[in-house]
Structure 1
Amino acid sequence: MSEVLPEHVAENRRYWNAMAQDWVTPGERRWSQDACWGTWAIPNSELFLLPDDMAGHRAIELGCGTGYVSAWMRRRGASVYAIDNSEAQLMTARRLDEVHGLDDIEWVHGSAESVAQPDDSFDFAISEYGAAIWCEPASWISEAHRLLRPGGELVFLGHHPLAMICTPIDGSTSANDRLERSYFGLQRLDWRDAVEDPGGIEFNLPISSWIRLFHTIGFDVIDYIEVKAPDSATGTNGTVSAEWAKDFPSEQVWRLRNR
Structure 2
Amino acid sequence: MTAEAQRGQFDYDAELSRYHPRLLAAMDVRPDDHVLDIGCGSGLTTRAAAESAVSGSALGVDVSAERLAAARRLSEQEGLLNVRFERADAQTHLFPAEGFSLGISRFGTMFFSDPEAAFTNIARALRPGARLVQLVWQDRRHQEWDVVVRRTLATGRTAPDTGGEPFSLADPAAVERLLTGTGFTDVQAIDVREPVYYGPDADAACDAVRSLWLTRHLLAEIGPARAEQALDRLRASLASRQTADGVWFDSRAWIVTARRP
Write the mapping of 1:156-235 to structure 2, written as runs, cut at 5 A.
156-163=134-141, 172-173=150-151, 189-190=161-162, 201-202=165-166, 204-205=168-169, 206-229=171-194
Aligned pair partner of 2:49 in 65, 70, 73: 73
Percentage identity across aligned positions?
21
CA deviations 1:117-152 (Å, max 9, x no partner) are: 22111100001022x222232232111111001110
In the superposition, relative to structure 1, how do residues 217 and 123 fare at CA in structure 2: closer, same or farther (>3 Å)?
same
**Is the partner of 2:177 in helix, strand or coil?**
helix
Determine whether 1:48 maps to 2:12.
no
**Is the partner of 1:44 in helix, strand or coil?**
helix
In the superposition, relative to structure 1, how do residues 65 and 42 fare at CA in structure 2: closer, same or farther (>3 Å)?
closer
Give the Cα separation in 1 of the matches to 2:24 and 2:58.
21
Aligned pair partner of 1:134 in 106, 111, 119: 111
RMSD: 3.9
More helix by share: 2
C-alpha contact 2:176 2:187 (8 A) present in aligned 1: no
Partner of 1:88: 66
C-alpha contact 2:136 2:254 (8 A) present in aligned 1: yes
CA deviations 1:224-256 (Å, max 9, x no partner) are: 1111226x98998969x86654xxxx2111000
Give the Cα separation in 2 of the matches to 1:209 and 1:156.
15
In the superposition, relative to structure 1, how do residues 168 and 233 fare at CA in structure 2: closer, same or farther (>3 Å)?
closer
In the superposition, relative to structure 1, how do residues 99 and 80 fare at CA in structure 2: closer, same or farther (>3 Å)?
same
Partner of 1:97: 75
Q: Normalising by the residue count of structure 2, what TM-score does the alignment of the two structures yield?
A: 0.65
C-alpha contact 1:124 1:154 (8 A) present in aligned 2: yes
* Structure 1 residue 22, shift from structure 2 partner: 3.6
**Is the partner of 2:96 in helix, strand or coil?**
coil
Give the Cα separation in 2 of the matches to 1:162 and 1:86.
25
Determine whether 1:252 maps to 2:254.
yes
Partner of 2:98: 120
CA deviations 1:47-99 (Å, max 9, x no partner) are: 72221x52111111111100011110111023011111011111111111111
C-alpha contact 1:20 1:89 (8 A) present in aligned 2: no
C-alpha contact 1:221 1:254 (8 A) present in aligned 2: no
Partner of 2:38: 62
Partner of 1:15: none
In the superposition, relative to structure 1, how do residues 20 and 221 fare at CA in structure 2: closer, same or farther (>3 Å)?
farther
In the superposition, relative to structure 1, how do residues 58 and 168 fare at CA in structure 2: closer, same or farther (>3 Å)?
closer
Give the Cα separation in 1 of the matches to 2:72 and 2:23.
29
Structure 2, unaligned stretches of length 5 or more? 200-204, 215-240, 242-247
Look up the equivalent residue of 1:97 and give its one-letter code. Answer: S
Structure 1, unaligned stretches of length 5 or more? 1-18, 30-37, 175-179, 182-187, 192-199
The structure whose RCO (Cα within 8 Å, separation 6+) is larger is 2
C-alpha contact 1:189 1:202 (8 A) present in aligned 2: no
